[in-house]
């Protein structure tokens, strides 16, 4: 599904280049559940954003289903992201002045999915993520666990083939965190590819494979 060849990311300030990722080679097969670990500042979020097409590498090649993503312009990247990828952030990124229902509806509006089908998909997601009773509430009226559940429901509503999750349980208590991980395990069992960033060995144990990043390098 995914192949990275020699991916680097750096920021230039004057004559100084600061490398965040260095010469990353990585393959991710369809159906994989992969964990990325490493200390703060190692480049984990940057790698996940590049995989999610929310950021572009400075050097190297990225193939998604053998398509050369590194040659795509922003419009094509957005299009691919929208149809294939669900991104879950540590801090939920729900839209504050939209209700849970409206937050879930947003990606479907972007995908131009029509009224009846859209309503059906939102209803199904509310049901599946046990948010029916919360659908008219705003994010600030929910607990952290409920907000993350809504954010995950929103990331999954378009039925993406790939889920990228950046410390998804970082702001949750252990019960809420476990719920999120079990949800991922279930999705993975039904074929969804998952790449998660976590500091928790317990969360990493849900995955099948772990890579370690340090100062932008993948550790052997």
Binding site for ligand ADP (CB under 6 A): 11, 18, 20, 38, 40-46
Question: With CB under 5 A as the contact rule, which of the stretches 3-11, 40-48, 76-84, 176-184 interacts with Mg ion?
Answer: 40-48
CA–CA distance, 104 with 158 (Å, rounded to integer): 10
Annotate 181-208 with DSSP letters as a single string. Answer: HHHHHHHHHTT-EEEEE-S-HHHHTTSS
d(CA 90, CA 182): 17
- Contact between 90 and Mg ion by CB under 5 A: the answer reads no
Residue 102 or 215 having the CB closest to ligand ADP: 215
Nearest-approach distance from CB 13 to ligand ADP, in angstroms: 8
Pairing relationship of beta strands 33-37 and 67-68 according to DSSP bridges: unpaired
Among the candidate windows 39-47, 93-101, 117-125, 170-178, which touches Mg ion by CB under 5 A? 39-47
Q: What CA–CA distance (Å, rounded) separates 4 from 85? A: 17
Binder of residue 35, out of Mg ion, ligand ADP, none (CB less than 5 to 8 A by kind): none
Query: Please, which residue, 49 or 118, has the CB nearer to ligand ADP?
Result: 49
Q: Which is nearer to ligand ADP, 144 or 170 (CB)?
A: 170
Measuring CA to CA, which residue among 125, 130, 112 is closest to residue 176? Answer: 130
List residues binding Mg ion (CB under 5 A). 45
């Amino acid at each position: 599904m995914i192949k990275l060849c020699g991916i680097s990311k750096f920021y230039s300030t004057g004559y100084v280049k600061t490398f965040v990722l260095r010469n990353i080679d990585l393959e991710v097969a369809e159906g994989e559940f992969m964990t990325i670990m490493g200390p703060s500042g190692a480049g984990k979020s940057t790698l996940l954003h590049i995989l999610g097409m929310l950021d572009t590498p400075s050097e190297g090649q990225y193939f998604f289903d053998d398509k050369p993503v590194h040659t795509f312009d922003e419009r094509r990247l957005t299009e691919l992201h929208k149809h294939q990828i669900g991104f879950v952030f540590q801090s939920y990124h729900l839209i504050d002045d939209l209700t849970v229902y409206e937050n879930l509806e947003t990606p479907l509006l972007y995908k131009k999915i029509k009224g009846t089908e859209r309503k059906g998909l939102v209803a199904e997601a509310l049901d599946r993520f046990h948010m029916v009773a919360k659908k008219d509430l705003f994010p600030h009226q929910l607990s952290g666990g409920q907000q993350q559940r809504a954010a995950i429901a929103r990331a999954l509503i378009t039925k993406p083939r790939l889920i990228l999750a950046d410390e998804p349980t970082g702001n949750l208590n252990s019960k809420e965190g476990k719920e999120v991980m079990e949800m991922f395990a279930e999705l993975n069992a039904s074929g969804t590819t998952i790449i998660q960033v976590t500091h928790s060995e317990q969360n990493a144990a849900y995955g099948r494979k772990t890579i370690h990043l340090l100062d932008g390098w993948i550790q052997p």
